[in-house]
Amino acid sequence: MEVSKRFFGLEDANYNIVKLARIMSILMPLFSLTVMISTTFFMIFVAEAVGQGNYIQGLGVVGTLVVVQMVVQTLLDYPTGAIGDWLGQRFIIASAFVTYAISYFMVASVTSTTPLLYLVLIYALQGFANSQQSGALGAWFDNNYRVAVPSDFDRTQYGVFQARLGMIFQIVATLSLIPGGILAGIFGRTWVFQLQGILCIVISVVAFKVIRDLPEVQEEKRGETRPTIGEYTSLLKGGVSYLFREPWVKYVITGSMLAGSTVMVWGNLILFPLYFSYLFTDIAVASYRTLLFVPGVVTGERSGVWSKRFEPKKWIPRFRILQSGGFLFFIIFAAIMFFFPPPTSLVPSIELVIPFTSITFIQFPMESMIPVILIAITFTLTMFSSSCADILTQREMLDVIPNKIRNSMYSLQPTLMMLFAIPQIGIFGWLIPSIGFPLTLVIVGIVNILGVGIIKKGLDQPKPAERVAITQLQDDGMGIEATIDE
């Protein structure tokens, strides 16, 4: 147990919270492994199917499908988060991964003749699954941590734990990329999708078994009656009203979600077409992504310690500008693609094969070496800022959001992010074939910097507890003045 305490940075935690940390450190990587093994080629697979083999021509339809997924998630994310607060997170997480399993089994049957409505159903199921699991695992751990470790008053130990957890997540994500590409090369992409469906069923069963609240939290809940349907509705309203009632929460969350929406545009529409335009094959993209994740593992772990040195109010906006998926990041990528356009055809590649086999596990086109090196440098230099910005923001949020509406608030955030991202993805999906990637990246960067400006405005506001104290002092002062006047 002492080893686990030191590793997770939870010096003041008791046995129960360390046990939950271990569960988190198993479930999060398992989630990562299941999802990440096909991310290299999932979007390209669908884009090629609808584009009759040309993924660039399929981007418009894929953008529309992603919008369908996000609309479904937007409509259901907050309600399912409130259901998680109502029923318990284990039910909602188990249900989410059953839904994921169905969608992966369905996508395994997609071909160039698949009806569009079938693809719409797949993406709608993905959106429904996302809406159920988003924020649920984090809300479960935060609710228990807040009750079980009151001595971590400044939440620095919590920040270290989040960084170590992120490191484990990154390691598993990194190790899953090349095997995913190799499996797709040997057995085919559809076989990998079927494997994901099976893994999702396993996760659903495991999550339902192991996700349990600590005795202290169970006791707290026993003191409360389970919400009725009417009270469930009030949970929905409570999160929204809290967001708009508290200026600090309103601006910080809204700004973070606007800035984060550009990362969704990047990940859902730009990232993989950009990779494939330079690297051409599944194994080349998987190899490259693996190399990019390696420095992220180091910076992710170290950021939990280094973030203790930074004051959140001053540094959150700065890190958001400098982070991966931030304003500077998008401008640099626009410059790379403008000055080093992708090769127009297959070119000679550097290949490494697994000894005594013909299986390629690393592959890079020679003509793409300069831009892919510049891209790698950009990712490496901006990853630290991403980790620090996330940790500092989460530290601030931990004590700002009440436990009763925590799951629903954590689900409300991606809902807002998707509301911002949906029109961008819908528009850029059809514009990229016309205006190209560089101009698209510049526009996305402008949207990002607007979000950072809103975050800065929010951090200048008093936190909810501080605002209440200030209001109370003002009211007391008015009462004193009235007494003197009398």
pLDDT at 212: 82
Q: 271: which residues sit within 8 A by CB, 6+ positions away?
A: none
In whole angstroms, what is the distance from residue 288 CA to residue 290 CA? 5
Cβ neighbours of 143 (radius 10 Å): 21
In whole angstroms, what is the distance from residue 48 CA to residue 71 CA? 23
pTM more than 0.75: no
Sketch out the chain's domains with CATH numbers: 2-485 (1.20.1250.20)
pLDDT at 469: 47
In whole angstroms, what is the distance from residue 412 CA to residue 238 CA? 11
Is pLDDT of 224 > 70?
Answer: no
165 residue type, one letter: L
In whole angstroms, what is the distance from residue 443 CA to residue 214 CA? 47
Mean pLDDT for the chain overall? 83
Q: 134: which residues sit within 8 A by CB, 6+ positions away?
A: 73, 77, 81, 410, 411, 414
pLDDT at 231: 60
Who wins on pLDDT, 408 or 466? 408
Q: In angstroms, what is the C-alpha Rg of the chain?
A: 23
Q: Enter the DSSP assignment of 401.
A: S
Who wins on pLDDT, 175 or 34? 34
DSSP-derived 3-state class of residue 485: helix
CB 244 within 8 A of CB 250: yes
In whole angstroms, what is the distance from residue 355 CA to residue 289 CA? 22
In whole angstroms, what is the distance from residue 166 CA to residue 157 CA? 14
Q: Which among 171, 166, 186 is positioned nearest to 290, based on CA atoms?
A: 171
pLDDT at 336: 96
Strand ranges inside 280-439, DSSP E: 349-353, 360-365
Can you give 258-306 as a three-state secondary structure string? HHHHHHHHHHHHHHHHHHHHHHCCHHHHHHHHHHHHHHHHHHHHHHHHH
- The number of residues making up the chain comes to 486
Highest mean pLDDT among 19-33, 118-132, 160-174, 354-368: 118-132
In whole angstroms, what is the distance from residue 55 CA to residue 450 CA? 31
pLDDT tens profile 450-481: 999 999 999 999 888 655 444 544 544 544 33
Q: Region 407-430: what's the mean pLDDT? A: 84
pLDDT at 1: 58
- End-to-end CA, the chain: 64
Is pLDDT of 146 > 90?
Answer: no
Q: What percent of the chain has pLDDT over 90?
A: 35
Q: Which among 333, 340, 345, 346 is positioned nearest to 369, based on CA atoms?
A: 340
pLDDT tens profile 37-86: 998 899 999 999 998 888 888 888 999 999 999 899 888 877 777 777 77
